[in-house]
Amino acid sequence: MVGSAISKQLSSLPGNQLVKLSHAELDLTNQPAVDDFFAQSNIDEVYLAAAKVGGIHANNTHPAEFIFENLMIESNIIHLAFKHGVKKLLFLGSSCIYPKLAEQPMREEALLTGPLEPTNEPYAIAKIAGIKLCESYNRQYGHSHGVDYRSVMPTNLYGPGDNYTEGASHVLPALIRRYSEAAKANKPFVVNWGTGTPLRELMYVEDLADATLFLMENYDGDSHINVGTGQDHSIRQIADLVAKAVGYEGETRWDQTKPDGTPKKVLDISRIESMGWAPKVALEEGIKRAVADFRNRFEV
């Protein structure tokens, strides 16, 4: 989803030649294969959006896969990009890097100041390692080799190309699939996990793509930078917006035996705002676009 949105924006700019390979063509956890790829390609810039991602259930069920695959992907790409002379690289992390009970909104300085949310700790640790890889290569090779690797921490993303797989998707695509299927089947009620009270910040993926290009050209800070909307909504509010967008008129029930996850997550985006960037797509409009994408892909 993220890679496609970034590629779309890069392709719209004159003079860019994109090098894109599918997972079937290049396994990023395979270091020799990644080494060969960089050796055979004339790469100037890298946008590292590849990752193994999923929601609470997937993170809880496959923690070893989440930490191993993400560590391998980012280690291979960042190190081998450096080895083959890539000067500019942008690494995409996640807002889950911040402590579970971090002061809200979460500032960049909150990193490593407290315990992480247990349900996605392995994934978060892998993303923190990616941040530190970028910082370390800049620190050691910035002056001597002209290395300029920066890390961007986006909030929860959604939009065209999202993953709607049952048991592996994030909260918004999971809700879109659930309510769409319930509307089609005329189900009298939908059951969602938790209490519906946790607060989440959501950003349309094309806004993130716009921010990554902006930051690649305008940000040279030594630390990571947050990208989000600066606004949050309860899961219950988000569910209501999804139900409205798909036309579902049944009842929503909440299974409080299931985990809620982090109680509140919203990013402090004052740093990127001070640079003159702001998101453009409001949540209700973004959800309408996401529902249209889901229907187009799955014919619901």
Query: Where in the sequence numbering do the catalytic residues fall?
Result: 123
- Residue of 83, 88, 87, 106 lying closest to 96 (CA atoms): 106
Side chain identity at residue 263, one-letter code:
P
According to DSSP, residue 267 is labeled B
Nearest C-alpha neighbor of 266 from the set 98, 54, 90, 152: 98
The residues that bridge with 254 in the sheet, in sequence order, are 192
CA dist list (Å): 3 to 6, 19, 34, 51, 212:
5, 12, 17, 10, 11
Q: Mapping DSSP to helix (H, G, I), strand (E, B) and coil, where does residue 193 land? A: strand
Residue 106 backbone phi and psi in degrees, to 5: -80, 120
E strands in 15-87: 45-48
In angstroms, what CA-CA distances link 263 with 99, 107, 260? Answer: 11, 17, 7
CA dihedral sign of residues 19, 220, 113, 170: negative
Rg (CA), the chain: 19
* Backbone torsions φ then ψ of 50, nearest 5 degrees: -65, 135
Question: For residue 188, what are the CA distances in angstroms to 182, 185, 253?
Answer: 8, 9, 10
Contact 82, 145 (CB under 8 A): yes
